[in-house]
Amino acid sequence: MLHETVVGRVQLVGAGPGAADLLTLRALRAIEGAEALLYDALVSEEILALAPAHCLKIQTGKRAGRTSMKQETINRLMLRIARRGLRVVRLKGGDPSVFGRVGEEAAFLNAHGIETEVVPGVTAACAAAAQFNFPLTHRKQARRVVFTTARIEAGALQADWSAAADPETTLAIYMGGGAAEELSRRLIEAGRSASTPAVAVESAGTPAARLRRGVVGDLARLVADGEGGPVLLVIGDVAALAHTGEVLDEVEELRSAGGRP
């Protein structure tokens, strides 16, 4: 009697910015049904706790600037576990399709006969905009959004920043904290005004999130006193609209007292 070959399956799931109530229902169901969970360093304990008690949990790291498991090792690990017939969830912070290497992982697994499913999640820029009350696009101010990273190779900032010169473009820069000073210089050289509004959001979408407001000319100051969380920089006129709940409370108090905000 021939034995049927077990063909595995891997779900590449976006965990969102960290808060469990920002998971999609599909992501929640995937985590609750996981038999093996390979998760990135930014995935919160609150979300990890949703996995079954018997689930095999493996942290893969993947935190910018810190020691982490090599991508090739992660690929082989997913493949080996999936071939054992386990329900594998590869859990990534934010959205797996936004700087999450989901294309590389899916291509590797598919090439080895493993079926994949991508489950989207809330990415940091969207979480920051919602948390601090500003839009990413806005009529007559921002017609487009560019998601990019502050990638440094051989000690220099990479990428063509000419598209960032458009004053109606909102620029969301992931992992930008360590390159803030050079980003400021490169953006100004590309034609973006030094007085363009900018915000730095640390740990976007989590209870520990912090907002700092300024302009392109002082990006380095915005990130100078960070607490080690991932930093997202948002640049454009919409950044001037960012505010915290405390600001809203102050405005409401003024209105109640008969004053003007």
Task: Catalogue the active-site residues.
Answer: 40, 62, 175
Cite the beta strand spans of the chain per DSSP E.
9-14, 36-40, 56-61, 87-92, 115-119, 144-149, 152-153, 156-157, 169-174, 197-202, 210-215, 231-235
Coil, helix or strand at residue 54: coil
In angstroms, the Cα distances linking 92 to 99, 116, 234, 253, 258 are 10, 14, 22, 41, 48
How far apart are alpha carbons 56 and 40 in whole angstroms?
14
Task: For residues 172 and 93, give the distance between their C-alpha atoms in angstroms, rounded to a whole number.
Answer: 16
The tokens of 156 are what?
């220099």
Q: In whole angstroms, what separates CA 27 from the centre of its chain?
A: 16
Strand partners, 211: 201
Main-chain dihedrals φ then ψ at residue 94, nearest 5 degrees: 70, -135
**Is there a contact between 121 and 15 (Cβ–Cβ < 8 Å)?**
yes
Report, in angstroms and rounded to the nearest whole number, the Rg of the chain calculated over CA atoms: 21
| Terminal-residue alpha carbon distance, the chain | 80
Structure tokens, 154:
């051989």
